[in-house]
Structure 1
């Protein structure tokens, strides 16, 4: 289960202002025909992002040898990325039975249950991994009684942005106490420590994370009530830590950040152009039309889709909206592959890593096009964070992260049931 520095995610946005720091994520790509057909090893296909073809290869391996734990694990992983829970549970259960030492499959099977709010089923799996972080989340989930993530109130609500920059900010309330929260798909749900203390939250477990380039202690607890507009969510897990994030334009500190783990409980629209967050019950019609691009979810909160840098792509990209002052982040290597001009004359340095300004003529997510969007290219990977070109965490590589400045002309709707993103003006 991926650990995030939720409210620290806001904090790290301040640290990353004007940099190429970005969260990487994996996703399932549709088959790209002859290129995939030329590669027979499903592991290579998987790494290249040819997941339809990889799945066919793994199924062939499993049909020849039903005890092939690796093939079962990969088929379960591919299903999980697309929120196909029944298939993910079937294959990952097979994989863990065949190979009880497969930590990743235990974690992914736990995540399969967590995404469905079946937290009690995740607990024994998390206890088996040997990870202190997983053990902390198992402790948290064991303290949750009753139904988690209970949604009450209206069928939909609209919360206007209080600020658009540095990140979209709305008002919400924690156990009846109002505060201003950043919206950030690169986060989960996190509070400032003083907000957690005022709300009377109890720390049930702790994990280690990273905020502003430093190691921090993150507290895990249970929140009784979180309200956005006319919708209230009750009995939900939450995180908090010491320290402050970047200030809001009025000089105040945000109360926390709202991210993907809350968003995927709804049909969520981040309407940058109309400056509002819209939450609808997941049963609502998501929309239709030419603005649709695929959606995949890796870890517990990494949304992904297909994107292009100029004519390079479409390839895997992440959709971490929390990049302050930037719309596109990539590495120098991918910038060069895409033929982008990298401004080596005006370098910045973040945590000892050089980053350079870029401003591509055109970048796109499907038919949503951004022109001359400000961005950065990193000289190399940032230690401790998944980044473009780093396949270690998820097994495949994004080429870029599309973020805040790119989305300003658009409304961005996440449909985690149909697994699509709708991007409209």
Structure 2
């Protein structure tokens, strides 16, 4: 089976895995983590989600030992989490000079370049990281990628459950219904939609989907239109069975994080729409002002492993609560408000129904989860009490590279949590704003 990261890339049409924590990882904070944070140990700070402090600690290590690969690579990773590209490039290049063949460093630097649309620079690093399909895909991009035409668009969410769907146009063709999900990276579509749009792959790879062999194809799309916003020269993927049939028919395609981080996006759940704008200083200023007037405060945001969004939130049970970095997912297929990983639920005394096993499949692995009902889950001013969630006590708290983010994972917030709110995601200042009710 494919590894977790590859699975997210290659199983996009079914919404990836929202039940077992394919969404972002989040540090498990509390007394133990606080003690670690006070120790000054850079790796402990990083694992606890104290990223800025960890960055400074790695810099101190490098002053004493400029040849520390771990410190240089991790300091670059800290910069990448916050989209601080000069910092990320500086330290990742330092790490690469120390170990040119290091796969993790090459992957992080490849991600750093694709976030900036520097695809030609990213390709050799994906090749060195062992991602041949990615390398071929990005090397095939020519001209200006993700060209944005139009200033803004309000795109109605035509269906909210079981998956959120919006209407789009592919290469100027008839309307299609795409889901959106920030737990997945790139734009993707059904094989039949790709064929109708006249797409040809620039790279292909045989992989596995729930035990079935399929082909993952990668190409370049001329035009993708959402209401009054059109993106041109866009990276796109599609999957097909060995006979060329569609893999999954729940929707015509999926809009992942890579599309959204090229825009200033408001996921207006309460108003049942996506609000898309160019990422300009003026648009950002207006969005911040609107969010602030609606009572929203800026929350920090981090982007890990090409697509996984994180912020700061908390979980509470009968015996206590913990606050720290949590994963945030918008869209996707999910009946839950949040997912809780490892022994977190037991440690916090969260009421769980262990007599009711729910079998699911995600990240290329079967999993068993259980219903649970935290006393409270909170992200900024957004809060839900005694709400339906899942817990997976057998999932790993910390999933290191190459499968995870490398910091401890308490849980993540999912599709159903957001329904009373509108959320603006600002990838320039790396903040998100959550306000109750429909966006103005």
- 1:152: how far off? 1.1
> For 1:13-412, what aligned pairs fall within 5 Å after superposition?
19-25=19-25, 35-36=35-36, 38-129=38-129, 131=130, 134-153=131-150, 155-177=151-173, 178-188=175-185, 189-207=187-205, 211-212=209-210, 214=212, 216-242=214-240, 243-245=246-248, 247=250, 254-283=251-280, 284-285=283-284, 286-287=287-288, 288-289=291-292, 290-310=296-316, 312-321=321-330, 322-351=332-361, 353-381=367-395, 388-392=397-401, 393-412=404-423
The list of structure 1 runs, each at least 4 consecutive aligned residues, that deviate by more than 6 angstroms after superposition, is none
CA separation in 1, counterparts of 2:15 and 2:146? 27
Would you say the 8 A contact 2:181–2:256 is kept in 1? yes
CA separation in 1, counterparts of 2:371 and 2:176? 34
SS across alignment from 1:197: helix
Would you say the 8 A contact 1:5–1:210 is kept in 2? no
CA separation in 2, counterparts of 1:144 and 1:34? 45
Would you say the 8 A contact 1:26–1:297 is kept in 2? no
Would you say the 8 A contact 1:340–1:360 is kept in 2? yes
CA separation in 2, counterparts of 1:271 and 1:347? 33
CA separation in 2, counterparts of 1:395 and 1:2? 13
Deviation readout 1:317-361 (Å, 9 max, x if unpaired): 111232421111113511112220010122222355321111223
Would you say the 8 A contact 2:221–2:234 is kept in 1? yes
Question: Comparing 34-43 with 370-379, which one deviates more in the overlay?
Answer: 34-43
- 1:215: how far off? 5.4
- 1:162: how far off? 0.6
Would you say the 8 A contact 1:328–1:401 is kept in 2? yes
Distance 1:34 1:406, change over 3 A: closer
Deviation readout 1:218-251 (Å, 9 max, x if unpaired): 110110110011111111110000244363xxxx
SS across alignment from 1:239: strand
Would you say the 8 A contact 1:136–1:206 is kept in 2? yes
Question: Comparing 67-76 with 348-357, which one deviates more in the overlay?
Answer: 348-357
Other-structure match for 2:243: none
> Which TM-score applies when normalising by structure 2?
0.86
Q: Number of residue pairs matched?
A: 405
CA separation in 2, counterparts of 1:424 and 1:414? 12
Deviation readout 1:251-297 (Å, 9 max, x if unpaired): xxx11011111000011111100000011111112315344221100
CA separation in 1, counterparts of 2:83 and 2:412? 21
Distance 1:319 1:33, change over 3 A: closer
> Which TM-score applies when normalising by structure 1?
0.88
SS across alignment from 2:192: helix
- 1:379: how far off? 3.6
Other-structure match for 1:8: 11
Distance 1:195 1:318, change over 3 A: same
SS across alignment from 2:162: coil
- 1:416: how far off? 0.6
SS across alignment from 1:159: strand
Would you say the 8 A contact 2:152–2:275 is kept in 1? yes
CA separation in 2, counterparts of 1:365 and 1:90? 33
Distance 1:182 1:33, change over 3 A: closer
Structure 2: stretches of 5+ with no match in the other structure: 241-245
Structure 1: stretches of 5+ with no match in the other structure: 248-253, 382-386
Question: Comparing 209-218 with 183-192, which one deviates more in the overlay?
Answer: 209-218
Would you say the 8 A contact 1:175–1:226 is kept in 2? yes
- 1:52: how far off? 2.3
CA separation in 1, counterparts of 2:211 and 2:33? 42
- 1:398: how far off? 2.0
RMSD (CA atoms) = 2.5
Deviation readout 1:350-394 (Å, 9 max, x if unpaired): 35532111122310111210123211111423xxxxx65434422
Would you say the 8 A contact 2:194–2:238 is kept in 1? yes
